[in-house]
Chain A
Amino acid sequence: MPKYKVCGTAAVLEHAPGKTFTADLDSVQEQRLLDGGAIKRVGGDGRPAPEKPELSLSEVRKLAAEAGVPDAEKLGSLKAAATALRDTPTEEAQALARQLSDDKE
């Protein structure tokens, strides 16, 4: 589940300013809160999540292999990679799948 930090001076979803929380927000509400600066995504340690540069197919293949995706080197497209990652039940694969999804947006 994604982790967020309350950025502004207003409490968000009953979490006080400055606090971190995990929540499964619907995509529209999440985007509105992110756009408004009420929250930001953070990593597991509560610090801001690192910037995620768009990945090339070869980088995705390499990361997918590390995340346990079978036959990762044979993935033919980023779309196929995203599907394969979603189907791979490791935390690394799911995180990478989310990152690919974000990059497409």
Chain B
Amino acid sequence: MAKFILDDADIVVNGVNLSDHCSSVTIDDNSDEQDVTAMGADNKQVLLGVGDGTMTAEFFQDFAAGSVDATLNGLQGSNTPFNVVVKPTSAAVSATNPKYTMSSVLPNYQPLAGAFGAPSKVTAAFRNTGATGIVRATA
């Protein structure tokens, strides 16, 4: 896969494909940095600690059955995890179109937020709750 324009990302939340309402998506896979620099060192030494993951998506709000609100509303505030799956494009999973899966919870959900005359959008920050964090698969 060459350089590409992000215009066909695929996002599935709890089995529901919300891609056609999604305007942006970010996958943030990270680990805590722990400073273990000791006396006598000339340079800082950093070790990676506990991993973490967040998938953030911005959606155009839609209150229709089975759409954005109906999907997200039932997930917010529950400790029972659900999967969020993101791909760069809607094509099948492959080495050039990897799939990122995260067992998630949704701590916050603002069903309505916006200004006069602007499209109603919601931002959902899905937080990792699985032991494996964000899992990348190519098949």
**Which residues of A line the B interface, CB within 8 A?**
6-14, 28-29, 32-33, 35-39
Contact = CB atoms under 8 A, between A and B. Distances in A.
Interface of B: 14-18, 20-21, 64-67, 70-71, 73-75, 80, 82
A12 B7 CA distance: 21
Contacts of B18: 10
A97 B129 CA distance: 34
Contact of B15 (A7, A9, A33): A33
Contacts of A29: 14-15, 82
Contacts, number: 63
A7 B66 contact: yes
A8 B67 contact: yes
B70 A37 contact: yes
A38 B82 contact: no
Given A10-B17, A10-B20, A38-B16, A32 B65 contact: no
A33 B64 contact: no
Given A9-B67, A10-B20, 6 more contacts: A8-B67, A10-B21, A33-B66, A35-B74, A36-B74, A39-B66
B15 A12 contact: yes
